[in-house]
Amino acid sequence: MSDGVPAGSEAGASTSRDRWFGVGSSTGGDGAAAGHEAAVEAMVGDDPKLVVVFCSAGLDLQAVVNPIAAAAPGVPMIGCTTAGEIATGAAGTGGVTVAVLGGDFSAASTFVEIADGDLFEAGNRAGAVVTQIPDREHTVVLLLTDGLAGNQQEVVRGVYNRIGAAVPLVGGCAGDDAAMVKTFQVCDGTVIENAVVAAVIGSDAPIGIGVQHGWRPVGEPMLVTSSGDTGVTELDGQPALDRYLDKAGMPAALKTDQEAVTTFAMTHPLGLRRRAAEGVRFITGADVEAGTLTSIAELPEGSLVWLMEGDRRSVLAGTTASCEDALDQLGANDPIGLLLFDCIARKTVLGPDGVAAEMETIGSVLETVPTAGFYTYGEFARTRGARGFHNQTLVALALS
């Protein structure tokens, strides 16, 4: 990456050759006003090609989307509700962030409802979006899904089945401000739910993807002795919840406190050993009566898992590494913008002061490059192989 600030760069906008990336945000209480303000701020050039919307679950999403769609009529749009919004240099909740890509990009969008819980088929059909743009030297598929719909790895498998290994995937699972009840997505100005939303971005300039988590394994592994879909029934032949809390050294009283278990699990994921690296699985909840755990993706029977832990230092180290990895893949090209997908559990570990520190960390790496993103219920980053769903990571997509 060359030194200095890209030509035309401002706090919320950047241009490079014939491409531009604008970011707008608003924390206004009225959905329509917030959507309008963010859209106007993000629309920094002519010929917009893709609009991306990240919106608090506390706002009327359709009211937010209407003025954004009016500002870019006919332009492909995707978006979702969040567990917090990220805009250049800041992160918060209760607002709207809008990113717009324009100029010499190709883009298209689609959505597929998840019928009968079949995430593989929804991903498979959504992957067809790549056929809607001409071949470009660099292509990426951006996914925004309902993270509460089941095993998200099945979405990745479905998309991979359709498009193969040549096109990478990035994105995140929609949130609802950590309520874990219902999330919503947006496609082309329409609010939907229980769906896989996809956009394809094509460019003749490089695209970079970084993914890091900052968690470390603790103690000896546990064997998953009984599981199905996203539920874990037994670890080491014992009720999964009991074994999980025992391994963490937690008091027995916690095993009957549903809220306390959920809070604890937010910052104590399970690590899953893979051939090339360690995956992380977010424990979304537990059934204290049945003694079971629920994850946002499968923990297969027979796999070894570790209790994971992290702190502010390790999480921020993951932030730096993810952004730097994405930028390194641009080579000598200047970045014009980044999309960030940051897990809600990382936000919980960091706390308010740590979130501010993370924004400073990102700013120190990117300088004035505009960024937009959200806090997710899971992240997508597939650059090789058929796997690519992550938990408790920061995924960075860098555009040049």
Q: Report d(CA 263, CA 369) in Å as an integer.
A: 35
Give ∠ CA 92-95-97 in degrees, rounded to 5: 90
In this predicted structure, what is the pLDDT of residue 281?
82
Task: State the Cα–Cα distance between residues 47 and 134, nearest whole angstrom.
Answer: 17
What tokens appear for 260 in the block?
Answer: 């306390």
What is the spatial distance between Cα 92 and Cα 85, in angstroms, rounded to a whole number? Answer: 6
204 in Cβ contact with 137 (< 8 Å): yes
pLDDT given for residue 4 in this prediction: 32
pLDDT at 98: 98
How many angstroms separate the CA atoms of 282 and 393, rounded? Answer: 10
Residues of the chain with pLDDT under 50: 1-11
**Which pair of structure tokens corresponds to residue 275?**
């051939």
* Gap between the Cα atoms of 181 and 137, Å rounded: 40
Q: How far apart are CA 141 and CA 130, in angstroms?
A: 7
In the prediction, which pLDDT does 193 show? Answer: 96
Indicate the DSSP class of residue 353: H
pLDDT number for residue 60 = 96
Tokens (6 digits) for 127: 């992957």
The amino acid at residue 16 is S
The SS3 of residue 396 is strand
| Structure-token pair, residue 269 | 């994921």
Q: What is the DSSP string of 254-278?
A: GGG-HHHHHHHHHT--EEEE-SSSE
The predicted pLDDT at position 386 comes to 67
Distance of CA 243 to the CA centre of its chain: 30
